[in-house]
């Protein structure tokens, strides 16, 4: 924890390849296409410049249209999308999947392309081979300019150590479930040591922490909302939080986290929440399946 240099939504972290990424991303998980379109347009109008989506969210086309209709120059927006499980069973499928995402988004390149999950349902026994093959294809996309940076999501330390045996490009980002209920300290330390940025999805635990007594007391102390406390905490932990909402008022409020600081007592109180709520799913025991049709 500690002071952060960022003072606005347009301030950035520098990834391990020199690419700059805005310190807060706008998440679109669970947003239906119409809601995603409206929310992303609102977020861009407010000043967000980092939009996070995924093939499996089913809203890439809506996100792309919102970006196009926003009036914000493409080069000023950092776009992340993700490669889904069933679309990476071989090298060529990875290339096909990324092309499909570009088509749906209406973009010429992705700023950050992530492998969405560490293990594929029904293929746990061969995750090492599949991840190595997937990453070779990801490296091809990166070196040929289809993605400005590449990374992973939901990877544990064992997955990253195995990948390191064959990788030529170190992942720039590991996007994971990170919040006061589950700080994943071993993983965060590994990523930090290896210059992999920790992105935090579900920084509000899908709303479960908004009524927590400790969080609301800290919010009252600083005259802030619980969501603002949690997003600020994520930044002070060195994470890149990805808050999400489809409500314009909340979208705006979630960006107002740069004019106050949490103190040591706040951090000590929040630390007591570890393990007292939903924890990260283990890729070895949870199977995520969802069929995504190939584009023509």
Q: What pLDDT was estimated at residue 2?
A: 52
Per the rule left: phi > 0, alpha: psi between -120 and 50, beta: everything else, 9 is alpha
Q: Which of 37, 57, 177, 190 is labelled catalytic? A: 57
Q: Report, as an integer, the average pLDDT of 243-262.
A: 97
Please write the tens of the pLDDT for every residue from 25-54. Answer: 999 999 999 999 999 999 999 999 999 999
The question of whether 57 is a catalytic residue gets the answer yes
Please write the tens of the pLDDT for every residue from 160-184. Answer: 999 999 999 999 999 999 999 999 9
In this structure, the number of other CB atoms found within 10 A of the CB of residue 10 comes to: 15
Name which of 288, 283, 281 is nearest 124 in CA terms. 283
Q: Which residues of 218-231 are buried (b: 16+ CB within 10 A; e: fewer)?
A: bbeeeebbbbbbbb
Distance CA 79, CA 71 (A): 15
Please report, rounded to a whole number, the percentage of residues in the chain having pLDDT higher than 90. 86
Q: Is the pLDDT of residue 1 over 80?
A: no
Please report, rounded to a whole number, the percentage of residues in the chain having pLDDT higher than 70. 98
Q: Is the pLDDT of residue 290 over 90?
A: no
Q: What pLDDT was estimated at residue 3?
A: 59
Distance CA 83, CA 23 (A): 22
Please write the tens of the pLDDT for every residue from 182-195. Answer: 999 999 999 999 99
Q: Is the pLDDT of residue 292 over 90?
A: no
What ranges in the chain are assigned the alpha helix state H? 33-46, 60-70, 91-105, 127-143, 157-164, 185-193, 213-222, 226-236, 248-253, 264-271
**Is residue 295 very low, low, confident or very high in pLDDT (cuts 50, 70, 90)?**
confident
């Amino acid at each position: 924890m500690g002071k952060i240099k960022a003072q606005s939504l347009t301030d950035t972290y520098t990834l391990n390849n020199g690419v700059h990424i805005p310190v807060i991303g706008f998440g679109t998980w669970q947003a239906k296409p119409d809601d995603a379109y409206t929310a992303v347009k609102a977020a861009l109008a407010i000043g967000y410049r980092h939009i996070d989506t995924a093939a499996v969210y089913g809203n890439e086309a809506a996100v792309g249209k919102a970006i196009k209709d926003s009036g914000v120059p493409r080069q000023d927006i950092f776009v992340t999308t993700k490669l889904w499980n069933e679309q990476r069973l071989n090298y060529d499928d990875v290339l096909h999947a990324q092309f499909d995402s570009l088509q749906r988004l209406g973009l010429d390149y992705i700023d950050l392309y992530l492998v969405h999950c560490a293990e594929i349902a029904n293929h746990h026994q061969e995750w090492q081979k599949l991840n190595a093959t997937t990453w070779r294809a990801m490296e091809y996309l990166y070196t040929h300019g289809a993605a400005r940076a590449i990374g992973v999501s939901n990877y544990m330390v064992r997955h990253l150590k195995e990948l390191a045996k064959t990788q030529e490009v170190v992942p720039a980002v590991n996007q994971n479930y990170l919040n006061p209920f589950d700080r994943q300290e071993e993983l965060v330390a590994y990523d930090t040591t290896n210059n992999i940025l920790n992105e935090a999805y579900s920084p509000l635990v899908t709303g479960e922490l908004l009524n927590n007594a400790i969080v609301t007391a800290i919010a009252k102390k600083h005259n802030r909302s619980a969501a603002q406390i949690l997003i600020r905490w994520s930044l002070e932990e060195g994470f890149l939080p990805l808050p999400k909402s489809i409500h314009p008022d909340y979208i705006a409020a979630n960006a107002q986290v740069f004019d106050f600081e949490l103190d040591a007592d706040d951090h000590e109180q929040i630390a007591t929440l570890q393990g007292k709520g939903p924890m990260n799913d283990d890729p070895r025991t949870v199977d995520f399946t969802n069929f995504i049709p190939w584009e023509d």
